[in-house]
Amino acid sequence: MNKLTLPLLVTLGVATAPASATQATWTTMGSGNAMDMSADGTAVSGSFGGNAFVWTQAGGQVDIGESDGRAVSLDGSVVGGNMTDAMGDSVAGRWTQSTGWVSLGGIGGQSGTSISTTYGMSGDGNTIAGLGWINAGNAEAFRWTMAGGMTQMFAVGPNSSRANGVSEDGTWIAGWDEHSTGPRLACIWDSGDVQTFIASTSTNPDGLGEAWGFSENNTYVAGSTESEGFVWDAVNGLTKTGALPSTDFFALGEAYGVSNDGDRVVGFYRVTFPFDNRATIWTPTSGIEELKTVLEANGATGVPNLTIARAISADGTRILATDGFVWGFAHLPADVAPGTNYCLSTMNSTGASAGISATGSNSVSANDLVLTASNMPDQPGIFIAGPAAAQIPFFNGFLCIDQNGLQRFADQTAASGGVITEAVDLATSAPGGLNVVAGSSYFYQRWYRDPAAAGGNANFTDGLEVAYTP
């Protein structure tokens, strides 16, 4: 391990950089259990205090009666959910401001007091899907439309099936159809009721699982299989979203929402049975992570212990999540760079303050982090790193990494045009390798010569904290 030789100076408290327009945020919006969000993130439905609610930007959270609001239209004017009919039975329903709750009926049967249940709805509110009972022991997926009412959907059978979600334009339905031996098989239906099973792999030839929903552009499907979430598309097939660290035999995950580019998938992972659920987000570069961890690593504060992420906007920047008591919006800017800036950077001879940023990911296994330092004189310098932060006056700026454990990168190339970029290799960038451990943070900075400046003839960028994941 290489250390910089520094004079003995008093370490100051680490100063956090001001919040930027591109940092992540969490905003608690209301009480209850939010179930669905419109594709643009401007309307939400759910349940609170035994009743359904709808939330819009203009009207806030409004109690609309009955039992729950499972799905919401793009403009928030229609809610699909469940209600109690005049006979006291539970039945799928549709709510608007002008009509109130209207029963959608059933498909001929009943199990106890249950006739039908809503699970999903199109963006215009004119197509609703879910489960209807055909007798006391068997249920089938239904499709309801304004024009045709409720109809039973085709299923291979001979057991039950269910519709879990409807595409934004109403042409596709996601759900499951039970295998003849009992397990659920993930499938989708097109507008002509043609059924496609989508979860079959070499390790899961029968395609066990469930499909839960679609991206707004109908390109991707989110679902669950083999105790993990998945994302599927017609070109690449099925990609499992992985597991959070757990030794529990009953650990499992599900994916509920996916962005239009397929690069952000949200859902939950149950780390410990029965109640330790964590809201999750998956990306191709970082894999599956706790949503709370990602938000906080990118500057969000006040994030509760989120248990489930229900939906994500088409552009992937707004996520609907809840902790079971309150619900809110996670804002995660597009292409969030890994790492959070901290500490101070002072003006150099270019008339600007040098900064550090990163691209790639914070995944130890991916090992693809790339550092960029900018606004510097074209002089030699060196990237440094370490396991702890500091803010120590040194040369013309501040050393933002604690001296204990500080490491130097081997490359001392000069900046060109005020910018230098270096790929981080955890094994070789510093002699002996960087001491990075998944689940903890590592801190980066660049020192550079600045002979044209008065004083110490050298300076630093600000610091960058990277919270590493497996």
Average pLDDT of span 68-97: 97
| Burial class of residue 49, CB neighbours in 10 A (0-12, 13-18, 19+) | exposed
Q: Which residue has the higher pLDDT, 225 or 454?
A: 225
Average pLDDT of span 6-27: 47
Average pLDDT of span 214-222: 95
CA distance 16 to 463: 10
Q: Is the pLDDT at 3 greater than 50, yes or no?
A: no
Average pLDDT of span 37-47: 96
Q: What is the pLDDT of residue 431?
A: 87
Per DSSP, what are the bridge partners of residue 81?
Answer: 69, 93
Q: What is the pLDDT of residue 160?
A: 98
Structure pTM? 0.72
For CA atoms 284, 290, 294, 297, give the dihedral sign. negative
Confidence band of 15 (pLDDT split at 50, 70, 90) = very low
Q: Which CATH number fits domain 340-467: 3.20.20.10, 3.30.70.270, 3.40.50.300, 2.60.40.10?
A: 2.60.40.10
Q: Which residue has the higher pLDDT, 14 or 254?
A: 254
Model confidence pLDDT, tens digit, residues 115-124:
999 999 999 9
Confidence band of 21 (pLDDT split at 50, 70, 90) = very low
3-class DSSP assignment, residue 45: strand
Q: What is the pLDDT of residue 336?
A: 65
Q: Is the pLDDT at 312 greater than 70, yes or no?
A: yes
Q: Is the pLDDT at 466 greater than 60, yes or no?
A: yes
Mean pLDDT for all residues in the chain:
91
Cα-only R_g, the chain: 26
Confidence band of 183 (pLDDT split at 50, 70, 90) = very high
Average pLDDT of span 263-288: 93
Q: Is the pLDDT at 375 greater than 80, yes or no?
A: yes
Average pLDDT of span 8-24: 40
Distance from the Cα of residue 325 to its chain's centroid: 19
CATH topology of domain 25-331: Methylamine Dehydrogenase; Chain H (2.130.10)
Kindly give the residue spans of alpha helices, DSSP state H, lying in 164-323: 291-297
The residues spanned by each domain of the chain are 25-331, 340-467
Q: What is the pLDDT of residue 43?
A: 98
Confidence band of 22 (pLDDT split at 50, 70, 90) = low
CA distance 14 to 343: 6
Confidence band of 14 (pLDDT split at 50, 70, 90) = very low
Instruction: Pick the range with the lowest mean pLDDT from 120-124, 199-203, 285-289.
Output: 285-289
Which tokens in the block code for residue 266?
């949200």
Q: Is the pLDDT at 11 greater than 80, yes or no?
A: no
Percent of the chain surpassing pLDDT 90: 79
